[in-house]
Structure 1
Amino acid sequence: MTAQLPPIPPGPADTTHPRRALARLALSTAYREAADFAAGGVPTVSDEYGDGYDNVDQAARLVSMAQDVLVRAVIYARERGGRWDDIAEALNVAAGQARDQYTAAIEQWEDALNRPWERSGRFLASRMPDGTTEPDETAADLDQWCLQHLKQNHGARHNAHNDGLEDHMVSANLSKHTPVTEIASLTRTAIYLARRGTATSPAELDAYETRKKILLASLAQEVT
């Protein structure tokens, strides 16, 4: 008998954490991965066991990882309300060039927010960037990473220590859902489902209706 394939979980991805927080976790994760990879290139003890071009290969891979950091930084800037003119100035390019260069990545991010999971053979695969599928766990891991890798005199750690946040250098300032962000997320989902039309699955509709009822009840309770 053929085993039943697991159902694809409905979106959106930003039900428990606002999209701005998810974008920041994706950026922090990309920074950590690049930093960890770069650290492996510092020692010389293995040089004689490899080829002469190994460091070139490693440096090229590091550049590629840095490009991903940059993409995540642009997406996070947009999630914070950053204008293309300001982003272009930071990149030292024209606004139109910045928009053209990163629009595809932002559209991919938006699409993944609406439909965060897909089937990969017999398994489910996340369409969201690394670090966003389990936000609380990611934030806790990044908190520990910062404690282990940032020196005591590092500016961020120094400020966190003064604010009593040294153990939570990532999680402490992640944005939380507000009624405004909840409504915005629900509205985006409604538009997405309407655009999908008959392709919308029953699970997607049920998840949307359930979330809408919970949000409306919560808002009504706050008013009363």
Structure 2
Amino acid sequence: MLLTRESVIRLMCDAASMTTATPYDDDRARFSRRALARLVLCDQARGLSDAAAGLAVTRYDEFCGAGGRVSEAAAVAGHADRLVTAAVVYERERGSSWADIGRYLHLGAAAAQQRFGSAVQQWRSAFDVPYRLDEQGRKRVPQLPTAAYDPVSAIRRLDLWADVRLGFDDRHAVSGGLQPDPDGEEQEEEQGWPETVGTELDGRIRLAQRGVFLDLLSEYALHRPADRARDVVARAMQGGGEGGGGWYTYTMDGIFETLDVRLAVDGDLVSVVVAGAHSPVLRLQVATLLDAFA
């Protein structure tokens, strides 16, 4: 049998998908599958909330074209459908029967399984192959929902969202309950979300965008130095930084809060640790910057 070039690439991609470690394997290993399903449900709930919020505002109705609000409402309905599917997946991981699930959807057990069984199977199969490579064999295409594929980033984003949007006086409103079932298997007992130390937020950004990152961070911190932060940091780090491992610390004295920004260059990337962001809004802004420039 003669294989075409496309067939060979597809076979190579499938083989790589089965054998190559994924970028977030260690992060996912901290959580039980049930906890990851709950995290996906959290993320879908956030998406529905954000989508529905726009429909509550009337100020810009005059700029909305004919049928525009119906389009928005239909998008919200789509979010609601995905939310229900995520809830079903979570309930199955939690041990609920199809009869338990169908009762609240006005469906019999068989009808509920027929409607959602493929989604549950797809969810479980994705843990065997968390991603596949695209047809060129270059880009990873996650098979798991984003929140389950990269749970650490999702948790940081959702905890901040709950703090800012929902007003909970709890920095771990989402992550605090993501512990494995105490009746679950022994290997899952140590999984869960580790506590965040202090107010530190960290990430890695591209060196070429360090200046823009610092400019925006200065704006968010209400830091108005005589010399721009990007220029001060660039000059200092050209000399090798300070402290062990080439780390340089720059302090942003804002009107309300003071940030200590630690940076270390590693090739084309810069490791960044931002400490001192206490308000939920500023923490969300810092986390968003780190995600945007990653």
> Do these two structures clear the TM 0.5 threshold for a shared fold by scoring above it?
yes
Counterpart for residue 127 of structure 2: 113
**Aligned with residue 180 of structure 1, among 178, 185, 190:** 185
Cα distance in 1, alignment partners of residues 175 and 21 from structure 2: 26
Give the deviation of 1:136 after TM superposition: 2.0
Give the deviation of 1:15 after TM superposition: 2.5
Does structure 2 conserve the Cα–Cα contact (< 8 Å) formed by 1:18 and 1:181? Answer: no
Gaps (5+ residues) in structure 2?
1-12, 189-294
Cα distance in 2, alignment partners of residues 10 and 74 from structure 1: 29
String of CA shifts for 1:19-74, please: whole Å, max 9, x gaps: 11110111000110111111112212222222120110111111111000000000
**Aligned with residue 59 of structure 1, among 73, 82, 98:** 73
Normalising by structure 2, we get a TM-score of: 0.52
Decide whether aligned partners of structure 1 residues 19 and 38 sit closer, same or farther in structure 2, where only a CA change above 3 A counts: same
What fraction of aligned residue pairs are identical, expressed as a percent?
30
3-state SS of paired residue (1:125) = strand
**Aligned with residue 162 of structure 2, among 146, 152, 164:** 146
Does structure 2 conserve the Cα–Cα contact (< 8 Å) formed by 1:34 and 1:65? Answer: yes
Which structure's residues are more often strand, by fraction? 2
Q: Which has the larger radius of gyration?
A: 2
Does structure 2 conserve the Cα–Cα contact (< 8 Å) formed by 1:74 and 1:102? Answer: yes
Counterpart for residue 114 of structure 2: 100
3-state SS of paired residue (2:81) = helix
3-state SS of paired residue (1:41) = helix
Match for 1:51: what amino acid? G
Counterpart for residue 77 of structure 1: 91
Decide whether aligned partners of structure 1 residues 76 and 177 sit closer, same or farther in structure 2, where only a CA change above 3 A counts: closer
Q: Which moved more, 1:174-183 or 1:103-112?
A: 174-183
**Aligned with residue 27 of structure 1, among 41, 52, 57:** 41
Taking the TM superposition and a 5 Å limit, the aligned residue runs for 1:128-207 are 128-151=144-167, 157=168, 166-176=170-180, 180=185, 182=187
Does structure 1 conserve the Cα–Cα contact (< 8 Å) formed by 2:55 and 2:72? Answer: yes
Q: Which has the higher contact order (CA 8 A, sep 6+)?
A: 1
Give the deviation of 1:16 after TM superposition: 2.9
Cα distance in 1, alignment partners of residues 162 and 29 from structure 2: 27
Gaps (5+ residues) in structure 1?
152-156, 184-224
Give the deviation of 1:177 after TM superposition: 8.7
CA RMSD of aligned residues (A): 2.4
Counterpart for residue 50 of structure 1: 64
Give the deviation of 1:137 after TM superposition: 2.2
Match for 2:127: what amino acid? L
Give the deviation of 1:105 after TM superposition: 0.3
Decide whether aligned partners of structure 1 residues 76 and 40 sit closer, same or farther in structure 2, where only a CA change above 3 A counts: same
How many residue pairs were aligned?
166
Does structure 2 conserve the Cα–Cα contact (< 8 Å) formed by 1:29 and 1:130? Answer: no
Cα distance in 1, alignment partners of residues 64 and 166 from structure 2: 30
Cα distance in 1, alignment partners of residues 98 and 40 from structure 2: 20
Runs (4 or more) in structure 1 with deviation over 6 Å come to none
Counterpart for residue 91 of structure 1: 105
